[in-house]
Amino acid sequence: MNSGVAQSPIVSISQVTKDYTLGKVVVPALRGVDLQVHPGEFISIAGPSGSGKTTLLNLIGCVDTATAGVVRVAGQDTKQLSERQLTNLRLHTIGFIFQSFNLVSVLSVFQNVEFPLLLQRKLDKVQRRERVMQLLEQVGLAHHAKHRPNELSGGQRQRVAVARALVTRPQLVLADEPTANLDSVTGQNIIDLMKELNQKEGTTFIFSTHDAKVMNHANAVVRLADGKILDRLTPAEATRAMAAGAEAH
Amino acid sequence: MGGHLRLLMQVAFRNLFTSKINLLIGGIIFFGTLLVVVGGALLDSMDDAMSRSIIGSVAGHLQVYSDESKDNLSLYGDWSGEPDLTVLDDFSRLKPVLEKHPNVKTVVPMGTSGAMITSGNTVDLTLARLRDLYKQRAQKGESPALREGIDSVKAHVQQMVALMEQQKDKSRELLSDAAVDPQETEALARARSDAFWNGFEQDPFGSLEFLENRIAPQLPDGDLLDLRYVGTDLDAFQKSFDRMEIVDGQRVPQGKRGMLMSKFFYENFLKLKSALRLDNIKQERDVNHKLIAEDPQLQRWVKENQTQTREILFQLDPIKARIATERLQKALGSQEASLEKLLSAFFTTTDENFDERYQRFYQDLAPLLELYRLRMGDPITITAFTRSGYVQSVNMRVYGTYQFKGLEKSAMAGLINLMDLMSFRDLYGYLTADRKAEIADLQKGSGLREVSRADAEESLFGEGSGNTLVADATPGLIEDSKPFEGGMGALRREDLAARVYSQDEIEKGVALSAAVILKDPEKLQQTLQELKQAGTDAGMKLRVVSWQTAAGFMGQFVLLAKMVLYFAVFIIFVVAIVIINNAMMMATLQRVREVGTMRAIGAQRSFVLSMVLVETVVLGLVFGAGGALLGSGIMAVLNSAGIPAGNEALYFFFSGPRLHPTLSAGNLLAAFVIVLVVSAISTLYPAFLATRVSPLQAMQTDE
């Protein structure tokens, strides 16, 4: 299905720790994490809340920096980059899908999707239009291009968000709990859509979830607990392990 | 790039009406702009109108005066009276220096001063007429026509005395007997007696003297009037100040001495007071739509007209009094025999009968009366203190009245009377050529010779002073055979009124200042500097000031009003900055997740900064444009309708009875710039805060 193993990893994390300071108390969120993600992978990060899923995604997404250890994204050590450079890295390399969709409410569906392209300033108006419509077509919302986000259902909004994340043709798409605010059928559809794009475009997806059904679609499930990676399993193994874990409780 | 800005604009426009905070900010900007546009335009228009008033009446564009003056020139007088100016010795030397400048159109010599005049006592005036008639009889002998005239005026005087006694009786009822001067009572009683009038013809001049000395002073009738005048080259003045127009009478013939009285002054101070009050009531009713029933001022005027009928009664001789009585009886449908009561009833005006009574007054009564105490062509005596403090008086003829178009009702412009420059110099205490000649004659006649101050001691007491001045002077003064030269002065003064002066004579002499009219008023400041330089080059120490400075506190008035407005605007916008700043902070906090999302997606801080700034600027411009639009609308309405000058002081500021304010591009530009600056300043800090929003905040969930 994919031959990513031979390629250099798009994300490479080694011995990363991340501490949060809450007042005078230092709370460790990650305690020595190693992870390699190769191009084309469709990886799920699983674990109970507070296990460090979001922190790990933030580090990968270059919106946060590690306390110690090295985070490499697309070959670049994020610690060595300036704020500006990090922003540029996010703009050109990474797509984001948020749990609460985070669309700009005053802009239309089309404009929301076009937004990153405008920031990039690479394409002219015609090209942008073509690209945006192509993606809206892919997520099945071409007829809603002129609508405002508040005129759409939750699932439709998240599909707009997916289109926005992919419009720049990023190497990597990060999704933090993309289905948490959706009902199971809609959530399922979103994951299907992501999977489809992963297979068609070869885009790397990393998404966090605590939903076992969602995990099943991944190539691999990275399980986190207490800021450490427990293991890296196939979806089937993960389901079994989760079931066992549930029984143990 | 274009897409970038378009996006920012779109975000800005769409955010405009989404938040109540924006509406609040917009409201402030809206009213702020409205104030700047309307207030600014009104004041500019007023400034403009007033500058036309000042420039067009006496100031001209520039005023030039001596730099040695202690005070600054103030054409409309200062809080402390007339400013102390050093004179320009010879206007004819100054004129060519100024006229050489290419932007100078005309130069008019001027001097402003003031004097007191009395408006004349009715009894005095009537007695003077009687004396004239007797003089004629003494010279030419009696004729039937003259006899008739004498009898008529005599009857008038008798009537006056009778009226005065009536009034005396009335005041005796109010005051104790002790308050009434017994000598006055005695004199009145004598003037009332048949014996006095029977003996009148035997000694008419003696009897007249008694009336003039003992009776006339009992009537405190003549007002003491403050007469402000500008002495100028009347022809040059009329040519240079084209708003000036003659109303009554005629202009002063070229080169002659004479006065043009201001129409406003003439109406307000020399008109029969009852008639003036009727005029005032009519104007208030017609122009300002006031009602006698409601307005206390109008009621006061009506009351005064009812009670103060004496001025009319004194003017009427028995024949005219009879006619007046008949007319009033007919008009009022009354059988009342007392003219005083009839007048009082006639002047009892209400809103219903006012217009009819007003018309009837001018139709029936006015032809019987002297409406003005001074007729065109009458001479008046102006007595003024010269600069050195002695009293100087000059007789001159009042040729006519004039007004400045648009400033007819303005007291400020209307209190300026014009006189010829020669008379002005006399009154100001500077010797005109005539005076010099007169004095030289006197000196010759009296054997005086001029002694310079430095030589005075030597001349008086020195060895060489063979003949004493006093000894020589005395025979000249008492020599009966030679006419007293000093007496000629009075005669010569009569001649002076008829003399025609050449332009040269008018210009060769002192003036206090010179008004300069420019060809291109836009270059006022530049010309001002160049004229100053021209004066220095010509060896004259000149002070050159703009009309605004020359007008003294008047010129500063609009400037002051402008400062008040701009201070108010400043305060409003300072408050606006604080409020907008706070509101924007709140708005930014509300949008933390949106901003965080944009940052996460890849928007740089500069993008966020420009987004917030563009938003406020768009907000400012949209609401500012709304305010400016409403302001323009208000100004358009005001422009076509005009703002009425409610009281007479405003006429000057409005340069007419109504101000039609105009809106200039400058006012709109000022509003535009202010709005832009205010919205930018007030958003700087919130915008900075917005740039500090971390992309991490995008990840936060709603809960």
**Predicted pLDDT at B432:** 59
Which chain B residues are within 8 Å of A87, Cβ to Cβ?
599, 602-605
Nearest CA in chain A to B599: A87
d(CA B544, CA B63): 6
**Predicted pLDDT at A49:** 83
Nearest CA in chain B to A84: B604
Burial class (CB in 10 A: 0-12, 13-18, 19+), A133: middle
Is B602's CB within 8 Å of A92's CB? Answer: yes
Nearest CA in chain A to B607: A119
Interface of B with A (CB under 8 A): 1, 3-4, 7, 10-11, 14-15, 18, 593-594, 597-605, 607, 694-696, 698-699, 701-702
Size of interface A-B (CB pairs under 8 A): 80
Nearest CA in chain A to B603: A119
A97 φ/ψ angles, rounded to the nearest 5 degrees: -125, 125
Q: CA dist B321 to A51, A218, B222, B245, B315, Å? A: 119, 125, 22, 37, 9
Nearest residue to B686 via CA among B582, B542, B577: B582
Contact (Cβ atoms closer than 8 angstroms) between residue B64 and residue B542: yes
Nearest residue to B238 via CA among B508, B51, B517: B517
Q: Check pLDDT > 80 for residue A155.
A: yes
Tokens of B672: 């535009």
Instruction: Say which amino acid occupies A183.
Output: D
Which chain B residues are within 8 Å of A82, Cβ to Cβ?
none
Determine the 3-state secondary structure of B143 from DSSP.
coil
Nearest CA in chain A to B601: A91
d(CA A151, CA B555): 64
Please report how the helices B485-498 and B433-446 are oriented relative to each other, as an axis angle in degrees rounded to 10.
Answer: 160
d(CA A174, CA A95): 6
Strand ranges (DSSP E) for B51-103?
62-66
Is A118's CB within 8 Å of B4's CB? Answer: yes
Contact (Cβ atoms closer than 8 angstroms) between residue B279 and residue B366: no
Is B600's CB within 8 Å of A105's CB? Answer: no
Nearest CA in chain B to A89: B602
d(CA B476, CA B231): 36
Residue B243 makes CB contacts below 8 A (sequence gap 6+) with B56, B57, B404, B405, B406, B407
The CATH number covering residue A102 comes to 3.40.50.300
**Predicted pLDDT at B439:** 67
CA distance B22 to chain A (A): 15
Is A176's CB within 8 Å of B1's CB? Answer: no
Phi-psi region of B484 (alpha: psi -120 to 50; beta: other; left: phi over 0): beta
**H helix and E strand count, chain B:** 30, 12
Burial B593-616 (b: 16+ CB within 10 A, else e): bbbbbbbbbbbbbebbbbbbbbbb
Is A106's CB within 8 Å of B14's CB? Answer: yes
Nearest residue to B111 via CA among B170, B69, B52, B151: B69
Nearest CA in chain B to A98: B699
What's the gap between Cα B238 and its chain centre? 18
Is A120's CB within 8 Å of B11's CB? Answer: no
Instruction: Say which amino acid occupies B24.
Output: L
Which chain B residues are within 8 Å of A176, Cβ to Cβ?
699
Which chain A residues are within 8 Å of B598, Cβ to Cβ?
104, 115
Q: Is residue A9 part of a domain?
A: no
Low-confidence ranges of chain B (pLDDT < 50): 464-492, 703
Is B696's CB within 8 Å of A63's CB? Answer: yes
Is B594's CB within 8 Å of A105's CB? Answer: yes
Is B602's CB within 8 Å of A54's CB? Answer: no
A116: nearest CB among B14, B601, B605: B601
A63: nearest CB among B15, B18, B695: B695
Tokens of A46: 């699983």
Domain boundaries, chain B: 2-53+554-694, 122-218, 272-371, 442-506
Is A125's CB within 8 Å of B3's CB? Answer: yes
Determine which helix (DSSP H) or strand (DSSP E) holds B584, and give its type and residue range.
helix B553-590
Task: Report the number of distinct structural domains present in chain A.
Answer: 1
Is A111's CB within 8 Å of B694's CB? Answer: no
Q: Is residue A63 part of a domain?
A: no
**Predicted pLDDT at B122:** 74
**Predicted pLDDT at B81:** 66
> What is the DSSP secondary structure assignment for residue A152, as one 8-state letter?
S
Is A111's CB within 8 Å of B10's CB? Answer: yes
Is B11's CB within 8 Å of A116's CB? Answer: no
**Predicted pLDDT at B223:** 65
Instruction: Say which amino acid occupies B482.
Output: K
Is A128's CB within 8 Å of B3's CB? Answer: yes
Q: Is residue A27 part of a domain?
A: no
Determine which helix (DSSP H) or strand (DSSP E) holds B277, and give its type and residue range.
helix B273-286
Tokens of B250: 């005629």
Which chain B residues are within 8 Å of A119, Cβ to Cβ?
4, 601-604, 607
Burial class (CB in 10 A: 0-12, 13-18, 19+), B286: exposed
Contact (Cβ atoms closer than 8 angstroms) between residue B313 and residue B161: no
Whether the model pTM is above 0.90: no
Q: CA dist B530 to B69, B89, B207, B513, Å? A: 20, 22, 68, 18
**Predicted pLDDT at B196:** 86
Burial B407-428 (b: 16+ CB within 10 A, else e): bbbbbbbbbbbbbbbbbbbbbb
**Predicted pLDDT at A73:** 94
The terminus-to-terminus CA distance of chain B in angstroms comes to: 37
CA distance A98 to chain B (A): 7
Nearest CA in chain A to B13: A106
CA distance B582 to chain A (A): 22
d(CA A138, CA A52): 32
Tokens of B295: 């307005």
Is A120's CB within 8 Å of B593's CB? Answer: no
Determine the 3-state secondary structure of A14 from DSSP.
strand
Nearest residue to B95 via CA among B421, B509, B447, B502: B509
Residue B478 makes CB contacts below 8 A (sequence gap 6+) with none
Q: Which domain holds residue A195?
A: 39-57+81-248
Is A98's CB within 8 Å of B604's CB? Answer: no
Nearest CA in chain B to A170: B601
Exposure on the CB side of residue B584, measured as CA atoms within 13 A = 31
Q: Is residue A212 part of a domain?
A: yes
Which chain A residues are within 8 Å of B602, Cβ to Cβ?
87-88, 90-92, 116, 119-120
d(CA B214, CA B205): 14
d(CA B622, CA A241): 62
B66 pairs with which residues across the strands?
Answer: B542
Cross-sheet strand order for the sheet of A172-176: A94-97, A172-176, A204-209, A42-46, A220-225, A228-233
d(CA A230, CA B696): 26
Is B699's CB within 8 Å of A121's CB? Answer: no
Q: Check pLDDT > 90 for residue A60.
A: yes
Contact (Cβ atoms closer than 8 angstroms) between residue B591 and residue B696: no
Interface of A with B (CB under 8 A): 54, 58, 61, 63-64, 83-84, 87-88, 90-92, 96, 98-100, 102, 104-107, 111, 115-116, 118-121, 125, 128, 164, 176
Nearest residue to B131 via CA among A201, B699, B139: B139
**Predicted pLDDT at A248:** 53
Is A91's CB within 8 Å of B601's CB? Answer: yes
Q: Is residue A31 part of a domain?
A: no
